[in-house]
Chain A
Amino acid sequence: MTVATQSQSRGGGYLERPSPSSLADVVETILDKGLVIDAYVRVSLVGIELLTIDARIVIASVDTYLRFAEATNRLDLNETGNSQGLPELLEGMTEKGAKGKTSGAIEGAKDKFEQLFGSDSGDDKSGNDDDEGSGDDSGPQQRPRRRKRPQPAR
């Protein structure tokens, strides 16, 4: 409780910390999680499967492409947006972050950022960069490498 209250002020209001958490949060948190034992009675979970069905857009469809094309057309290309530039943002997070314990996906991403931005030689505290999780075929996190050089907007 103390923790939750304290943290509301932390993060300057950018970090959303729902309390109490919503049903969706709960489902994500506990469904198929926790210790499973072979109990004598295991209750059938009526209705739960309904909660997990979420109507997500399948991205590889014509409709989706048209929707994205439209969304792109609505953008005003001359408006630069007022947020921090993307390269600086990515670089900042990678610098600050973690060379320690990461998943394969994150290691992959990090490599990419180092290709893009050059790696800082002064690697930080944890010397074990290439240990866990970077096992090559560690599943769905791996993506084809697609790398675009950041280009200055015209």
Chain B
Amino acid sequence: MNAADGGGLVHVYGVVRYPADLRVDEAGLGPVREISHGDLAALCSDVESEPLGLRGELKAHADVLAQVCQQAAVIPMTFGTVLVDDDAVRRELLDRYAHHLNGELDRLATVLQFNLRLVPDEEALLRDVLAESADLRTLSRAVQGLPQGQGQAQRLRLGEAMANGFRDLAHRLGDAAVGALSTETVDLRVEEAGGPEGVTRAALLVQRSDTTSFLDAAGALAERLSGRLACRLVGPLPPFAFVAAPDAALASGVAG
């Protein structure tokens, strides 16, 4: 292998149980290989030098892990985890964190992550907001009847109420939608709920064996929400959002 002993660096995608019978066709940051130690293996590519962080590199990291997670449980490393050589991967990752990695591999052995993103249709939700409030309908009619450039205060009052109503409704719908899927998940994390544009994002942890029924449920939900919220589902992914941080004492005990 080329850079393995020539001072090249090693980028780590994630850690799997060893031996693992994996097929990785994704390009990655270079050819993907395993560095094993005991019953753990790190999936790695040699990289020339820092810095790392081009878009293609970020995507390569994600693509390799997405492919691997369909074949085996994998603990994804954060992007940019680079060690000096193979030996450092064994010593400073696989050996030092062996206990934590084994625990996480056990805990997350049978799950996959899906990322749900719900984007509201502004017009549809504004219509709903008006339908819910007689006061706002009245105000809206009043503002519509005003000549151009007049009634700025009323305009602002209407706009503020509608903006708040939009956000509130987007939030309610997002909550209800994520809640509706929660029977199909083992864990979930709402990462954004009714954000500035009413977007809701959640990471959902699903049993591998339940993937089909989860996707059915997500499809049915998307159909129900159509017209109001557009549903986007990315996955299956490794459990990026659910990996526990290692013990702080362990992590900070750098200098041996």
Contacts and interface: CB of A to CB of B under 8 A. Distances in A.
A28 B185 CA distance: 20
Secondary structure dominating the interface of B = helix
B182 A98 contact: yes
Interface residues of A, number: 92
Contacts of B254: 38
Given A66-B155, A86-B131, A33 B240 contact: yes
Interface range for B: 35 or more
B176 to A, nearest CB: 4
A106 B174 CA distance: 9
Interface of B: 9, 11, 14-15, 50-55, 58-59, 61-63, 65-66, 70, 75-84, 88, 92-93, 96-97, 104, 115, 117, 122-124, 126-128, 130-134, 137, 140-141, 143-144, 155-156, 158-160, 162-164, 166-169, 171-173, 175-183, 185-191, 193, 195-197, 201, 211-212, 215-216, 218-228, 230-234, 236-237, 240-241, 243, 245-246, 251-252, 254
Interface of A: 1, 3-4, 6-7, 10-12, 14-18, 20-21, 23, 25-48, 51, 56-59, 62, 64-73, 75, 77, 81-84, 86, 89-90, 92-94, 96-98, 100-103, 105-106, 108-110, 112-113, 140-141, 143, 146, 148-151, 153-154
23 contacts: A3-B211, A12-B223, A14-B223, A14-B231, A15-B221, A21-B62, A25-B115, A30-B79, A35-B75, A36-B251, A37-B246, A43-B51, A43-B52, A43-B81, A45-B79, A65-B163, A68-B126, A71-B126, A97-B176, A105-B193, A109-B176, A143-B171, A153-B130
